[in-house]
Amino acid sequence: MAPNQDYNYAFRLALFDRAVAVSKNFKYYRAKRVVWTYLPDYNTFQSGGGGISLPQVSMLMNRTGDTTLWTSAEYDAQGAVPKQFAKKMVIAYNPNICQSIQYIAQPTGTPGPFLGNIGTRPVYNEWIATGNFATDNPATYPGGIPFLSPATANANTDMLYQGHSMIFEVATPGAVSVLGSVFCEVEWEFKDPLFVSPPSSVADAPKTEAPVGAEA
């Protein structure tokens, strides 16, 4: 992470290959829980730029997807409490999507009303349609078992989930990047099977029954 720079952390289904493959067989999906894990490479200091410094990290929830790059002073003003980035940090919460809030206005002197936007509001636990993957790219396993190809692309998987923001502060001027790893683990939920009817040759195949008392 670059020092003294604001980061907005968010995610989308399209970043998780396994979840995308599963979603193709259901009509709806949602992210139930997200766990962010931050692991520093060093537990005593970060060096660079001619000096040594122990990074301080501040965190704020960002439910509206605000992309404003907050400074360290603005983090402090919003109540963030800096902590030393010297050991594993785990942040877990219920993620949300953002819904646009629109309005209709009738200004004086205009021929008619117009539609405007006054921002967004957070929405939690909302089911999102996966889209019609069957129409995009249907396929069938050997034996006529229906399934949906994992190669199918769908814009519905790009729905962005919010959200928190973080800043890694380093006192040493010209310090190098704060070294560490970031992991994002999401609990996905799916519902309502998206079933593709098997080929007619399989669905219309005649059924045969053995006579009563006959051996198999």
β-pair partners for 35 = 92, 185
CB 60 within 8 A of CB 74: no
Within-domain flag for 119: no
In a domain, 152, yes or no: yes
Q: What is the mean pLDDT of the chain?
A: 79
Query: What's the half-sphere exposure (Cβ side, CA atoms, 13 Å) at 115?
Result: 3
Cis before 180 (ω within 30)? no
Asked if 114 and 92 count as a contact pair (C-beta separation under 8 A), the reply is no
Per-residue model confidence as pLDDT tens digits over 130-175: 875 544 444 443 444 444 444 444 567 788 999 899 999 887 666 6
Residue 111, in any domain of the structure:
no
* 211 domain residue, yes or no: no
Whether 49 is covered by a domain: the verdict is yes
Instruction: Give CA angle at 166 (2, 78), nearest 5°.
Output: 130
Domain CATH code at residue 30: 2.60.120
Structure pTM? 0.74
Contact 126, 97 (CB under 8 A): yes
Q: Quick one: which of 102, 99, 103 has its CA closest to 125?
A: 99
Q: Which domain holds residue 186?
A: 6-96+124-195
Contact predicate 4/170, CB 8 Å: yes
**Higher per-residue pLDDT: 144 or 182:** 182
Categorize the per-residue pLDDT at 210 as very low, low, confident or very high, splitting at 50, 70 and 90: low
Smallest CA-to-CA distance from 11 within 162, 147, 167, 216 is with: 162
Report if residue 156 sits inside a domain. yes
Residue 101 within a domain:
no
**Residue 34 in domain:** yes
Number of independent structural domains in the chain = 1
Predicted pLDDT of residue 197 = 55
From CA 90, how far away is CA 79, in angstroms rounded?
Answer: 19
The one-letter code for the residue type at 103 is Y
Question: Where do the H-state alpha helices sit in the chain?
Answer: 17-23, 72-77, 133-136, 200-203
